[in-house]
Amino acid sequence: MPYEGDNSGGGWFDTHAHYDSENFDADREELLRSLPERGVALVLNPGCDGDTSRRAVEMAARHRFLYAAVGWHPEEWAGWGPESMPLLRRLARERKVAAIGEIGLDYYWDKEHKALQQEMFERQIHLALELDLPVIVHDRQAHEDCLEMVLRYPALRGVFHCFSGSAPMAQELVRRGWYLGFDGPVTYKNNRKAGEVLAVTPLERILAETDSPYMAPVPYRGRRNDSSLLGPIVECLAAWKGVSPDEMARITRENGCRLFSIPPD
């Protein structure tokens, strides 16, 4: 069953969910239509290549509460080509596109194409700056290079999605105005690192994410994730920061609206 906690604070903002995924092919539209009545106020759906970015834009046009980001994920380097940037530039001008993402570096799966990943990342950063959009950064086992890359551009703003870096890295990012996204792993047993990061992250820099259909929170690990399961994540964030779940829902919703320039619902 979906999370049934009290959400009278106005609804959650899931700032990272992939409803373009084939995991939702069987019931995508039905699920999306059900989210507002299950406590979800807003969702941001990032693309990972040309096709998924296009689908994210199309879905956002059909659902009032759904927004899109467009970008080329580092794992999708094989599909990157001369038409990639012109396509992203066209899509990024659509009305409900709120960010460039999911972009960044991933050295966990691929250590052979670091130079290409870095080129993709930098070119999309330039697009975000050109269009005055925030970025959604994917950083997996590439903390040093991701941090060095974004700090080259003082005007750049955005979120490190599913933040997995150190507390000192978190401090440096929030000092420069960045946001940190927290997902299902904050609910996992003995996740001390999340506590260390949250201890140095001010409330106004926290975003709540599901990364649906991946990384479902406890007690739903192993099942398909969706935005209605954001509640346990918000509850954990609230406990770490010493506020109520309703207050954390409000804070993270307002933070997401501020970063992505989305009118509060």
Report if residue 108 sits inside a domain: yes
- Rounded to whole angstroms, the Cα distance separating 31 from 58 reads 16
Phi, psi of 245 (to 5 degrees): -60, -35
Report if residue 206 sits inside a domain: yes
Report if residue 1 sits inside a domain: no
pLDDT band of 265, cuts 50, 70, 90: low
Return the pLDDT at 220.
96
pLDDT in tens, 61-74: 999 999 999 999 99
pLDDT band of 141, cuts 50, 70, 90: very high
Report the CATH number that the domain containing residue 48 is assigned in CATH: 3.20.20.140
Report if residue 3 sits inside a domain: no
Residue 123's SS3 state is: helix
β-sheet with 66-70: strand ranges across:
12-14, 40-46, 66-70, 97-106, 135-140, 158-160, 179-182, 206-208
Number of domain units in the chain: 1
Report if residue 202 sits inside a domain: yes
Pairing label, strands 66-70, 206-208 = unpaired
pLDDT band of 4, cuts 50, 70, 90: very low
Report if residue 6 sits inside a domain: no
Return the ∠ at Cα 41 (arms to 223 and 64), rounded to 5°.
105
pLDDT band of 34, cuts 50, 70, 90: very high
Report if residue 265 sits inside a domain: no
Q: Which two tokens stand for residue 254?
A: 């307002």
Return the pLDDT at 112.
82
Residue entry with tokens 């940190």 = 180
Residues 6+ apart with CB under 8 A from 63: 32, 33
Return the pLDDT at 2.
35
HSE-up of residue 120 (Cα within 13 Å, Cβ side):
31
Mean pLDDT of 139-148: 97
257: amino acid identity, one letter: C
Specify the DSSP class assigned to residue 38.
G
> Dmax over Cα atoms in the chain, in whole Å?
49
Report percent pLDDT > 70 for the chain. 96
Return the pLDDT at 8.
37
Mean pLDDT of 78-93: 97
pTM of the model: 0.95
Phi, psi of 190 (to 5 degrees): 60, 30
Report if residue 91 sits inside a domain: yes
Question: Structural domain of residue 84, as residue ranges?
Answer: 14-260
